[in-house]
């Protein structure tokens, strides 16, 4: 709280009203307009939340102009090279990096929650084999509340903690099951001697006939994808989770809502859309056709966007995209795919877009999804599973934000208002007169 204020004046006779100006530790100040309606009978209008802070949060900070991303104060560039994904999960959930002992205990507890109730296999069987993995995942995550009813009370801190461990641990198992189901292979049970990410890769790629030798460079790459996607403050899916959980529903149901929101191509679905876009350009002629594609992306009537480019908050290079591009080099080099035509096409496309006035003037830079698809493809992950990988990674962010909201003394059910533009009151005419 500060003693600084903001005064709003009106041209319609409503008297000036004054509101407190709140200051965060970093970032823009916010005007606390919670009493606006009671003082003036007016709402604010901000579709898409362009200027609205819906909560206070101490988890993730983004400076979109600088291209800076901090989890609990630590820069993403440092976390990506000095920590593994489970350390980052601990940091997001509990506020501090774990000590060696805390890390050991946390890894142990997550590792021992990776199996899912055997009955979930039968639930999975209800899906068509060609269902999109995000359709399957939305259903399976929602179903967790039916299989684990002992950890669904969102107001009980211990139950929230157990559901957090369950969700972080079981999400890779569910995604691997969705994949195995889609290709008609038997499910692979988790193995506790492997790392979180190594175990996921084995559940994806091993079969009962042939084990999968987990390659360190690929584990590191996927672990980095998980770290880079772990949280991103009040994005669409996180806001969905917060709004959903604000009704007091259980954490599994709220995270299922987050999965559903993430699926959209403007959000988590962009990694799949970005790789498909590169394939399309390649099919049409590759680098030589970039100009035509850029022209379409600039044409407002075409409905085409340069996928993996642009961001609501970053008006500079997305720091995650830089790290992802680095990983791309490392993985493709290690696999002897340095000449990968898709990677070359992506770099050429990036270069041309970054020199084009349309993208420059709108501050449209590559985002994390521009390169993550190429890395995932090199790992062997099918394109349709990319967004599900994002969901695995983001689960911890969703839970950390949900926990923060429920523990906030100012927490209330989320209930936006509206500017009504429909019919005013009228009476129902009889059927023959309509």
| Catalytic residue IDs | 311, 369
CB-closest chain residue to ligand CMC = 310
Distance (Å, rounded) from C-alpha 184 to C-alpha 186? 7
| Closer of 98 and 397 to ligand CMC (Cβ) | 397
Least Cα distance to 22 among 14, 12, 32, 10 occurs for 32
Task: Please report how close the Cβ of residue 272 comes to ligand CMC at its closest, in angstroms.
Answer: 11
Under the binding rule (CB under 6 A), the answer on residue 322 touching ligand CMC is no
Check residue 309 for interaction with ligand CMC (CB under 6 A).
yes
Instruction: Please tell me whether residue 176 binds ligand CMC under the rule CB under 6 A.
Output: no
Residues between 37 and 66 with contacts to ligand CMC, criterion CB under 6 A = none
Site membership for ligand CMC, residue 296 (CB under 6 A):
no
Q: Does 396 bind ligand CMC (CB under 6 A)?
A: no
| Segment (H or E) for 341 | helix 341-355
Interface with ligand CMC includes 349 (CB under 6 A)? no
14: how many CB neighbours lie within 10 A of its CB?
Answer: 13
Q: How far is the CB of 327 from ligand CMC (least distance, A)?
A: 16
- Burial, 237: exposed, middle or buried (Cβ in 10 Å; 0-12, 13-18, 19+)? buried
Q: In the complex with ligand CMC, which residue's Cβ is closer, 163 or 367? A: 367
Assess contact for 280 and 307: CB atoms under 8 A. Answer: no
Q: Output the CA angle 289-294-299, nearest 5 degrees.
A: 130
Using CB under 6 A as the binding rule, whether residue 268 contacts ligand CMC is answered as yes
**CA–CA separation, 103 vs 109, rounded Å?**
10
One residue of 270, 275, 346, 385 binding ligand CMC per CB under 6 A: 270
Among 80, 86, 134, 364, binds ligand CMC (CB under 6 A): 364
Contact present, 340 and 332 (Cβ < 8 Å): yes
Tokens of 382: 């099918």
Q: Minimum distance between the CB of residue 71 and ligand CMC, rounded to whole angstroms? A: 15
Would you say how long the chain is, in residues? Answer: 434
Q: Which stretch binds ligand CMC (CB under 6 A): 22-30, 88-96, 179-187, 264-272?
A: 264-272
The residue (of 50 and 428) whose beta carbon lies closer to ligand CMC is: 50
Does 266 interact with ligand CMC (rule: CB under 6 A)?
Answer: yes
Considering beta carbons, is residue 103 or 363 the nearer one to ligand CMC? 363
Q: CA-CA distance, 392 to 271, in Å (whole number)?
A: 14
Site membership for ligand CMC, residue 362 (CB under 6 A): yes
- Cβ atoms 120, 148 nearer than 8 A: no
Let me know: does 256 contact 171? Beta carbons within 8 Å: no
What is d(CA 249, CA 257) in angstroms, rounded to the nearest whole number? 11
Which residue from 151, 197, 235, 403 is in contact with ligand CMC, where contact means CB under 6 A?
A: 235
Q: Which is nearer to ligand CMC, 312 or 344 (CB)?
A: 312
Residue with tokens 């961001």: 311
Helices 386-407 and 216-228: crossing angle in degrees, nearest 10, is 40
Q: Which is nearer to ligand CMC, 140 or 297 (CB)?
A: 297
- Calpha distance 187→258 (Å, rounded): 25
Question: Looking at 6-14, 94-102, 109-117, 363-371, which segment touches ligand CMC (CB under 6 A)?
Answer: 363-371
The correct pick among 224, 232, 242, 377 for binding ligand CMC (CB under 6 A) is: 232
Q: Which is nearer to ligand CMC, 60 or 403 (CB)?
A: 60
Q: Give 30: exposed, middle or buried? Use CB within 10 Å, 0-12, 13-18, 19+.
A: middle
Please identify, among the stretches 117-125, 162-170, 188-196, 262-270, the one whose residues bind ligand CMC according to the rule CB under 6 A. 262-270
Q: DSSP labels for 283-302?
A: HHTGGGGHHHHHHHHH-TTS
CB of 45 to ligand CMC, least distance (A): 16
Pick the closer one to ligand CMC by CB: 58 or 266: 266
Please name the residue ranges forming H helices in 133-250.
133-147, 157-183, 196-205, 216-228, 236-245
The residue range among 34-42, 159-167, 180-188, 267-275 that interacts with ligand CMC, by the rule CB under 6 A, is: 267-275
Applying CB under 6 A, among 165, 242, 311, 377 the residue interacting with ligand CMC is: 311
Give the largest CA-CA distance in the chain.
Answer: 79
**Binding interface with ligand CMC (CB under 6 A):** 232, 235, 266-268, 270, 297, 305-312, 362, 364, 367-369
């Amino acid at each position: 709280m500060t003693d600084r204020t903001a005064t709003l004046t009106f041209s319609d006779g409503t008297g000036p009203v004054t509101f407190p100006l709140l200051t965060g530790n970093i970032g823009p100040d916010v005007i606390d307009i919670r009493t606006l309606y009671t003082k003036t009978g007016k709402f604010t209008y901000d579709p898409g939340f362009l200027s609205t802070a819906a909560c206070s949060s101490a988890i993730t900070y983004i400076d979109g102009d600088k291209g800076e991303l901090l989890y609990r104060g630590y820069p993403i560039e440092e976390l990506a090279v000095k920590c593994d994904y489970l350390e980052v999960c601990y940091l997001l959930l509990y506020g501090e990096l774990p000590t060696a002992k805390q890390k050991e205990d946390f890894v142990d507890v997550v590792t021992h929650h990776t199996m899912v109730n055997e009955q979930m296999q039968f639930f999975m069987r209800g899906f068509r084999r060609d269902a999109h993995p995000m359709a399957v995942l939305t259903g399976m995550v929602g179903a967790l509340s039916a299989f684990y009813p002992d950890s669904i009370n969102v107001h009980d801190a211990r139950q929230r903690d157990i559901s957090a461990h369950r969700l972080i641990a079981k999400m890779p198992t569910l995604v691997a099951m969705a994949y195995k189901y889609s290709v008609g292979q038997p499910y692979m049970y988790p193995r506790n001697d492997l790392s979180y990410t190594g175990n996921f890769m084995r559940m994806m790629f091993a079969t009962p006939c042939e084990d999968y030798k987990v390659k360190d460079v690929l584990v590191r790459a996927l672990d980095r994808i998980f770290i880079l996607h772990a949280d991103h403050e009040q994005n669409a899916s996180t806001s969905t989770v917060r709004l959903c959980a604000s009704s007091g529903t259980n954490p599994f149901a709220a995270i299922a809502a987050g999965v559903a929101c993430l699926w959209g191509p403007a959000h988590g679905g962009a990694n799949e859309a970005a790789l498909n876009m590169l394939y399309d350009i390649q099919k049409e002629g590759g680098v030589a056709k970039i100009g035509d594609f850029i022209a379409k992306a600039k044409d407002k009537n075409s409905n085409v966007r340069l996928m993996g480019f642009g961001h609501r908050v970053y008006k500079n290079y997305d720091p995650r995209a830089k790290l992802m591009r680095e990983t791309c080099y490392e993985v493709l080099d290690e696999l002897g795919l340095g000449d990968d035509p898709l990677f070359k096409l992506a770099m050429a496309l990036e270069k041309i877009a970054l020199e084009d006035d349309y993208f420059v003037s709108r501050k449209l830079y590559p985002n994390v999804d521009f390169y993550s698809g190429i890395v995932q493809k090199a790992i062997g992950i099918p394109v349709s599973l990319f967004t599900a990988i994002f969901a695995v990674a983001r689960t911890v962010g969703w839970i950390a934000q949900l926990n923060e909201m429920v523990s906030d003394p100012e927490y209330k059910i989320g209930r936006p208002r509206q500017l009504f533009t429909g019919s005013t009151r009228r009476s129902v005419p009889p059927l023959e007169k309509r």
